[in-house]
Amino acid sequence: MDPPHPKRAVRLNDTTLRDGAQAPGVVFKTADKLAIARELDALGIDELEVGTPAMGAVEEEDMARIAGLGLKCRLSAWCRARPEDLAAASRCGVFGVHISLPVSQIQLRALNKGRAWVLEQLRNLVPEARVRFAQVSVGALDATRAEAPWLLQFVRAAAQAGVQRLRLADTVGIGRPDTISRLVTLCRQVAPDLPLEFHGHNDLGLATANALAAAEAGAAALSVTVNGLGERAGNASLEQLAMLLGRHPRLACGLDPGGLLALCRRTALVSGRPIAPDRPIVGDMCFTHESGTHCHALLREPQAYEPFAPESIGRSRRLALGSHSGSTGIRHLLHQAGIEASAPQIESLRSLLRNGLSEG
């Protein structure tokens, strides 16, 4: 039998402190930023996009303080296509820089710019950025609404300019897994040596699925945020993609899932965005079971109704009493509480739960 092929590692670039912080009403204090950065680094995140220096002196100072933590992961700054943004990012002491450029006609009209201007910025700014930073990434803003021939021209121009990675942004979340897969494939064909990153928004609920499709099509990196925090409906979710990649037959990531729950809860608290009970991976109900059929099966075989062991992310399984409870689950919960009950007593309790207490 042939040995299994080694899995390809996908880099995770967490942008909670940049794109996540742009969510309406979210304001991270400096201490919050430092704590989130430390926790992400401890989990083994590959990269952190730590802010937008153009926001001013306070943002620059916070970014510099994160850079001063001595984290193992790479730090980058998000910049507009302006020399002054590169200078500000350089003052922050980050490893790399990301330069965003519009590629759809919609975004070009919004900025009152043309395609010639975009190509000129590539030629002028990338060499300067390469001098200042160890890693230079360029973003194709609104790539999923750009005309394909022009987008591919942009990709070729970026490769020729010497960028080290190109970010394809699904800026308003209109992509589908099949279209994202085709987009990544086309871009890799015209610039096979240029690593790609996918940045997905969740407007139609597909950010995580689209990010996975991009990785499966050959994208080298994925933009993510803790809890999917971000503008409008948010971004691709760090915790979801970490668990997907961790169980993928061909892909992998270096993130340790053990601290995900604590990280997600901390981020939810300081962002003022509570975690929905049924949110995948970290919601309170993810490993809570009430159905009699499910509880009966889980007590015999823990994998019956769970995709992975809850202990792998610091959680535990919980059986709940309710209208759908069965006798096996009720007996188990009573036993855990030190209560032994006869079969008729258990059946009476099951009937009471199912039908409710009579008035009076």
> Which tokens go with 132?
């200042």
> Which tokens go with 206?
């597909």
- State how far the Cα of 276 lies from the Cα of 228, in Å rounded to an integer: 12
pLDDT number for residue 336: 75
Closest CA to 253 of 48, 5, 10: 10
pLDDT number for residue 355: 76
pLDDT number for residue 358: 41
Counting Cα atoms < 13 Å in the Cβ hemisphere of 289 gives 26
Closest CA to 196 of 40, 11, 335, 46: 11
Q: What pTM did the predictor assign? A: 0.91
pLDDT number for residue 297: 75
What is the three-class DSSP state of 172?
A: coil
- Neighbouring CB atoms inside 10 A of 93's CB total 15
- State how far the Cα of 34 lies from the Cα of 19, in Å rounded to an integer: 16
Q: Give me the phi and psi of 94, to 5 degrees please.
A: -85, 160
| Furthest CA-CA distance within the chain | 81
Contact 358, 328 (CB under 8 A): no
Residues in the chain predicted with pLDDT less than 50, given as ranges, are: 357-360
pLDDT number for residue 346: 66
Contact 142, 171 (CB under 8 A): yes
Q: Which domains are present in the chain?
A: 8-271 (3.20.20.70), 288-355 (no CATH)
Contact 212, 244 (CB under 8 A): yes
Residue 13 CA to its chain's centroid (Å): 8
Provide CB contacts within 8 A for 230, sequence distance 6+: 15, 19, 20, 22, 23, 201, 202
Contact 42, 284 (CB under 8 A): no
Q: How far is CA 113 from CA 5, 78, 105, 168, 351, in A?
A: 46, 20, 9, 19, 69
Counting Cα atoms < 13 Å in the Cβ hemisphere of 95 gives 16
Contact 63, 92 (CB under 8 A): yes
Closest CA to 18 of 130, 86, 97: 97
Contact 54, 276 (CB under 8 A): no
pLDDT number for residue 286: 83
- State how far the Cα of 136 lies from the Cα of 127, in Å rounded to an integer: 9
> In which element (H, E) is residue 126 found?
helix 115-132
- State how far the Cα of 43 lies from the Cα of 39, in Å rounded to an integer: 6
Burial of 153 per CB tally in 10 Å (0-12, 13-18, 19+):
middle
pLDDT number for residue 187: 98
Residue 257 CA to its chain's centroid (Å): 13
Residue 20 CA to its chain's centroid (Å): 10
- State how far the Cα of 185 lies from the Cα of 279, in Å rounded to an integer: 31
Contact 187, 156 (CB under 8 A): no
- State how far the Cα of 353 lies from the Cα of 329, in Å rounded to an integer: 12
> Which tokens go with 191?
């610039």
